Chains A and B, each alone.
Chain A
Amino acid sequence: MHKESKLVKGLLIGISVLFVVLMLLLPLITVITEAFKQGFSVYAEAVSDKYTVKAALLTVEATVVAVLINTVFGLFAAWLITKFHFKGKKLLSTLIDLPVTVSPIIAGLIFVLTFGRQSPLYPLLERYDIKIVFAVPGIILATVFVTFPFISRELIPVLEAQGTDEEEAAALMGADGFTIFTKITFPHIKWAFLYGVVLCAARAMGEFGAVSVLSGHLRGKTNTLPLHVEILFNEFRYVPAFAVSSILVVMAVVILIARSIIEYIGKRESEDVR
């Protein structure tokens, strides 16, 4: 089988490397160089600023809650969809995947309509003094929404490929659901599960549009790191904006490395089994 000429190969690799360097690597480097433009002390000041720390804490909170809720949902939904036959399964899968196709701004809008002032639910929320829109619960809800299918989506193909024979055998021998799940199912899906958690965390910490609609931008109260970046940038405080961004860049790079490691180990293990 003859291959392309060396020229074509070199050209294609050249184009690819150029594209990745210009479009992906350069923006990453720019964040770091801009952040340190006025020296380390200005950087340190921006990063340790009271509002930055508060925003970071809220980002961590929203990310952790989103990962926890989507873990519970992802495990149950994947179990339901791959281990049982029932009517409406297709519809259910479609509904689960819906959030990723909706624009983040619309995601924010639907929660404003559900819990905002004009909602039929609003009098009820007010009676019990529950604030959702322009408050932390709204931010968390929006984050959960945009990351909703991230874990189940990774688990379903793996569980589908694995079939139900092993679980059925275990059930017939008298194992209860929890035992079946922890002893039989989970070992098969642990890497896919971790992979889903990583993707979910990445999207959750970076969500901007939906959170932006619901936050009301109250500094120190309902500001996440990406929103804090926006405020600083729009105030023309570029160095602090990039300094805060650099925290998110470090988190993104950690996530990318974790993703690669998980993918590598997962692949190697599934090859060992064969």
Chain B
Amino acid sequence: MMKKANRRVIPGFGLSMGVTLTLLSVVVIIPLASLAIFAANMSFGDVIETITRKRVLASFEVSFITALIASLINAVMGVILAWVLVRYDFPLKRLLDGMIELPFALPTAVAGISLTSLTADKGLIGGFFAKFGVKIAYTRIGITVAMVFIGIPFVVRAVQPVLEKLDSSYEEAAAVLGASRRRTFWKVIFPEIMPAVFTGFGLAFGRCLGEYGSVVFIAGNQPFETEITPLIIMSELQEYDYASASAIALVMLAASFLILFLVNLIQIRNSKILKGGGSGA
């Protein structure tokens, strides 16, 4: 590591390394390591027993399905929103653009209670749907709504820059050659933005899986029905059952690392295609 030190002209390597590693250790490495140490002391059988409890398995299902549906909705709506924000001009567009970031700025608990009161049977939206016999708050639909709220900026902000940089000459060529607008979109534009859509989808999915604050109020938290995995971890913690909480947390961590890995894989493959094809970015 120090071999190249004599070639370094810019000062501050040692100090920067020291400060970075110290803070990283205290804030990230040591706490994560204590989970690893704690997990290493658990017996494999106990871990399997914990994570295959019916209630835990049901929570995996609830979390996975709602997060998947919410992220799919986000992928579709995210592309539409990014498209509208990049390609069209209309009044109050800047305001719309700024609003996209709201889920990042609004505390999740506030979003949670607000969405709950809106979609409860007596709420503005919930009242409307209740006429058709559709319940939103305290059902899986409610969980999905909260996750759509929390996930939408990820897709929009992933797709928007790609659309902005997209070279319009391909679209023009397609149009000159007689392709319809729809065909141009699916054959020319969509393949270009697809990796960004996947990235946004993956990030939104990861966030939705782990989301707690906005979901916990709207979910109703009925075991087997609307109990998400983070909530199970939370209730194990409140009962001071750290072993169970850690076992379930390990499954969630594995899932989120897998998602992160896949997102990175898509990004690497995409940048290789871009470089290899010479289309530039």
Contact = CB atoms under 8 A, between A and B. Distances in A.
A73 B124 CA distance: 45
Contact of B28 (A148, A177, A181, A242): A148
A102 B249 CA distance: 10
Given A27-B114, A208-B212, A12 B88 contact: yes
Contact of B242 (A69, A118, A226): A118
Contact of A76 (B4, B20, B110, B230): B20
Contacts, number: 276
A73 B20 contact: yes
Given A72-B19, A206-B107, A213-B234, A167 B4 contact: no
A256 B103 CA distance: 10
Q: Could you tell me the dominant secondary structure of chain B's interface residues?
A: helix
Contacts of B9: 167-168, 171-172
B109 A206 contact: yes
Interface residues of A, number: 100
Contacts of B115: 27
B175 A2 contact: yes
27 contacts: A12-B83, A13-B90, A16-B80, A20-B96, A26-B118, A27-B118, A31-B114, A34-B117, A80-B13, A80-B16, A83-B16, A98-B32, A101-B260, A103-B252, A110-B32, A118-B242, A167-B9, A167-B10, A180-B11, A202-B104, A206-B105, A226-B107, A242-B114, A245-B107, A248-B106, A252-B102, A259-B105
Interface of B: 1, 4, 8-13, 15-17, 19-20, 23-24, 27-32, 34-35, 38, 77, 80-81, 83-85, 88, 90, 94, 96, 98-111, 113-115, 117-118, 124-125, 145, 148-149, 152, 168, 171-172, 175, 181, 206, 209-213, 217, 230, 233-234, 237, 242, 245-246, 249, 252-253, 256-257, 259-260
